[in-house]
Amino acid sequence: MKPDPAPSRRACRRVAAVVLLAAALPGHAQLGLPSLPSVPSVPNLPAPRLPPPAQVVPQLQRTPVPVADLVRVREQRIAEMLRQRSDLLEPDPAGQPLVRGELVLSSPSDTLLAAARGDGFTVVRERTLDALDMRLVTLRAPVGWKTARALQRLRQLDPQAAVDYNHLYLESGETAPLPQVSVARGAPAEAVKTTGAFKVGLIDAGVETDHPLLANASIRAWGCGGRKIPTAHGTAVASLLVGRGQHFRAAAPSATLYAADVYCADPIGGSIEAVAAALAWLIDEQVRVVNISLVGPANRTLQQVVQRAAARGVLLVAAVGNDGPAAAPLYPAAYPEVVAVTAVDARSRVLPEACRGPHVAFAAPGSEMAVAGFGAAPYASARGTSFASPLVAGVLAAAMRESGDASAKTVVAALARQAFDLGDPGRDAVYGHGLVARELRSDLTRLDANAR
């Protein structure tokens, strides 16, 4: 079934030279899943229905930004990080950020560690993650060695070892504040703070739990030694999962959100170690669906973390990223165990900056999105695949709850059958199985009208 009105397939595939930016800058995110077998429908998933396209509020439009500028956002951020913290960070051979001089090993053998110490490597951190049945060991390269040489040496010592750089995975989107739009007066009917009926996980930056859209949500936080270090990105993504407000629609407002902060205002935040520890905590808390709006390069240690989580029945959902249609796949989204989500605009057209590839599983709203603001602005406008991913994660978390003991593959396959096919017939590298969660796009027009 196609949306009505639907863009032509030719228009869906065409990368526009200029896009309307309803947010300050785009997000970046990613994850993927292979073709799924036909299985019975999951109970209580919404019946296929496509409402009319959302209207863009004229007062909230932004100056058009060239696509080339949109796809360079992550590259520019990496360059700035490396410039400011060259004492701690460096690029890998592909330009991706990593912690200078550090290598992370997943459950290394005693033989490998002994040989590494003999070469002058030192152990700087070690952590046992029982939930993943994994021991992470971080080594520092010998004095005078470049990090690339150190990695090559460890792989020579044990070619099968899960050893790689201590890569950093970046927050995958930006938001633009909407100071002229206020949170609606009068609490919505469901705005009574209670324990959520089911669980959904988030690995991201810190969440402002006192925000009006989140104040009545059930949220459990992890990381930063108990300190609260909220951010715009983490707060925005959290609001799309469990936010509550008049004229605002989240994917799973009745869920308890388990939010892991892997940044904590640390210059080496978002590392492999932090992501792995966060996922182990979520597994311990029996969270079955986890959203990850972070992106970065392929990494052997990350791959093992993802595989072990999936083997324990955890469904990982992530954004495909905003590095452009010609970019290489981003991770963890591109691992086959992950559900990769791309983003569409209010007319159901893929964002021209969104990554493409066979790993794309679903498309969801990801531009002109109303999200929880940060600081003085109650609302923000968001654009990017980062903000499509939590919508799919929330829908799948609700489906897992309704279907009892259904497997991750079962609920994903059921959602795939209910998706609205866009682009080429069947699953494709642009839209995956098709568009889902379109009814969850919060209407900026109604929000703006409330402010006047």
Residue 315: per-residue pLDDT: 97
Structural domain contains residue 189: yes
State whether residue 91 is helix, strand or coil.
Answer: strand
Q: Structure tokens of 91?
A: 């690029």
Taking only the tens place, the pLDDT of each residue in 381-390 is 999 999 999 9
Structural domain contains residue 416: yes
Contact 31, 338 (CB under 8 A): yes
Taking only the tens place, the pLDDT of each residue in 400-419 is 887 666 788 999 999 999 99
Q: Give the residue numbers spanning the domain of 394.
A: 16-73+171-451
Confidence of residue 70 (pLDDT cuts 50, 70, 90): confident
Taking only the tens place, the pLDDT of each residue in 206-246 is 999 999 999 999 999 999 999 999 999 999 999 999 999 88
Over 70: is that where the pLDDT of 431 sits?
yes
Q: Which residues pair with 291 in a beta bridge?
A: 202, 317
Q: What's the CATH number where 119 sits?
A: 3.30.70.240
Taking only the tens place, the pLDDT of each residue in 439-450 is 998 766 556 555
Please give the DSSP secondary-structure letter assigned to residue 251.
Answer: S
Q: Give the residue, 80 or 179, on which the prediction is more confident.
A: 80
Asked if 282 and 429 sit in the same domain, the reply is yes
Contact 99, 52 (CB under 8 A): no
- Measured CA to CA, the distance from residue 262 to residue 207 in angstroms comes to 11
Contact 318, 339 (CB under 8 A): yes
Asked if 159 and 215 sit in the same domain, the reply is no
Residue 375: per-residue pLDDT: 81
Structural domain contains residue 89: no
- Measured CA to CA, the distance from residue 363 to residue 164 in angstroms comes to 31
Query: Ramachandran region of residue 137, left (φ > 0), alpha (ψ -120 to 50) or beta?
Result: beta
- Of the given ranges (174-183, 291-300, 371-380, 411-420), which has the lowest mean pLDDT? 174-183
Contact 362, 60 (CB under 8 A): no
Asked if 306 and 336 sit in the same domain, the reply is yes
Taking only the tens place, the pLDDT of each residue in 101-139 is 999 999 999 999 999 999 999 999 999 999 999 999 999
Confidence of residue 435 (pLDDT cuts 50, 70, 90): very high
Please give the DSSP secondary-structure letter assigned to residue 412.
Answer: H
Q: Over the range 295-309, which residues count as b (16 or more CB within 10 Å of their CB) and which as e? A: bbbbbbbbbbbbebb
Asked if 177 and 297 sit in the same domain, the reply is yes
Q: What is the mean pLDDT of residues 372-395?
A: 92
Closest by CA to 93, choosing from 144, 146, 172, is: 146
Structural domain contains residue 7: no
Asked if 277 and 352 sit in the same domain, the reply is yes
Last residue of one domain, picked from the residues 167, 182, 213 = 167
Q: What is the mean pLDDT of residues 372-376?
A: 86
Taking only the tens place, the pLDDT of each residue in 139-166 is 999 999 999 999 999 999 999 999 999 9
Q: What is the mean pLDDT of residues 349-373?
A: 95
Asked if 63 and 204 sit in the same domain, the reply is yes
Q: Over the range 323-351, which residues count as b (16 or more CB within 10 Å of their CB) and which as e? A: bbbebebbbbbbbebbbbbbbbbbbbbbb
Structural domain contains residue 1: no
Structural domain contains residue 146: yes
Q: Structure tokens of 259?
A: 């939010």
Over 90: is that where the pLDDT of 184 sits?
no
Asked if 346 and 399 sit in the same domain, the reply is yes
Confidence of residue 19 (pLDDT cuts 50, 70, 90): very low
The total of structural domains in the chain comes to 2
Q: Where are the alpha helices (DSSP H) in 158-294?
A: 232-242, 272-284
Q: What is the mean pLDDT of residues 186-204?
A: 68
Asked if 180 and 162 sit in the same domain, the reply is no
Structural domain contains residue 88: no
Peptide bond into 5 cis (omega under 30): yes
Residue 57: per-residue pLDDT: 32
Q: Are strands 18-19 and 89-91 parallel, antiparallel or unpaired?
A: unpaired
Q: Model-level pTM?
A: 0.84
Contact 244, 188 (CB under 8 A): yes
Q: What's the CATH number where 412 sits?
A: 3.40.50.200
Asked if 335 and 371 sit in the same domain, the reply is yes
Asked if 118 and 242 sit in the same domain, the reply is no
**Sign of the four-CA dihedral 322, 325, 328, 332:** positive
What element of type H or E holds 204? strand 198-204
Last residue of one domain, picked from the residues 167, 200, 218 = 167
Distance separating the N- and C-terminal Cα atoms of the chain: 38
- Measured CA to CA, the distance from residue 344 to residue 421 in angstroms comes to 13
Query: Cα angle vertex 33, ends 14, 270, to 5°?
Result: 90
The helices-and-strands tally (H runs, E runs) of the chain is 11, 19
Residue 176: per-residue pLDDT: 85
Structural domain contains residue 354: yes
Mean pLDDT of the residues in the chain: 84
Last residue of one domain, picked from the residues 131, 150, 167 = 167
Residue 377: per-residue pLDDT: 80
Over 60: is that where the pLDDT of 14 sits?
no
Asked if 160 and 188 sit in the same domain, the reply is no
Q: What is the mean pLDDT of residues 21-49?
A: 38
Over 80: is that where the pLDDT of 63 sits?
no
Please give the DSSP secondary-structure letter assigned to residue 312.
Answer: T
Please give the DSSP secondary-structure letter assigned to residue 421.
Answer: P
Asked if 318 and 439 sit in the same domain, the reply is yes
